[in-house]
Amino acid sequence: MKEIHFYFDFISPYAWLAFQALPKALAGVSHRVHYHPVVFGAMLKHHGQLGPAEIPGKRDWTYRQVMWQAKQQGTDLQMPAAHPFNSLALLRLAVAASGINQQGQPNRYVVETIFKHVWCDGLEATDPDRLATLQAHLFSQPGVSFQDPQSAEVKQLLQQQTQQAIDLGLFGVPSMVVNGQVFWGNDALPMLRAYLEGDVWFESADWRDAGKLPVGIRRAPAAK
């Protein structure tokens, strides 16, 4: 059985699309998915980058593209009332609903429920009343152990998973990691499947040596 580590932040519509597409994309491949909530903003800060929704022009394209992709794959997607938003409360809720014994890794039901809260209702993702209802629903589910989302333990687990993602060299969400190999983005799912099925291309120089290409020019950071 293949062990897949799925790193995501609820702020990302691409993560929602990948999450929904994953079972079909890997149908017939024996695998297990471990879900890791991470703070995308912290990853961007580490790499000195802005998110796609923070760049004029790219922001508009991102929203058009994800709505088109959702239409193509048959996934419900409605833009929330505002985006980007602070996803910390949602990430901590996911960690809390996993129980400390699961090391901050929620099950698929928990992850799906929170993603739908953000991407299927067209409402404010961080509205306090909606968050309270979401938390009550998750914590009432059979078999769901939980902690206080504001506890030091939950915050620490989220920080640890985010740092783990950074240490792995991850720069975006969603990222799927298998045997130390990174597959980034919802459009990488066919590539991930080929790797899991043993495609020999992943043993070639094209895959192995991609990072060895010399840098031709480095741009200086923009003046503030």
pLDDT of residue 44 exceeding 60, the answer is yes
Q: In the predicted model, what is the mean pLDDT of residues 24-53?
A: 96
Take residue 175 and report the two structure tokens written for it.
Answer: 């990222």
Which residues fall within 8 angstroms of residue 85, CB to CB, at 6 or more apart?
11, 124, 125, 126
Burial of residue 202 (number of CB atoms within 10 Å: 0-12, 13-18, 19+): middle
Q: In the predicted model, what is the mean pLDDT of residues 102-128?
A: 94
Options 2.30.110.10, 3.40.30.10, 3.40.50.300, 3.40.1280.10; CATH of 2-212: 3.40.30.10
pLDDT at 19: 98
pLDDT at 220: 74
Q: Which pLDDT band holds residue 101 (cuts at 50, 70, 90)?
A: low
- Residue 177's closest CA among 4, 2, 38? 4
Q: In the predicted model, what is the mean pLDDT of residues 36-59?
A: 96
pLDDT at 98: 85
Whether 195 contacts 178, CB under 8 Å: yes
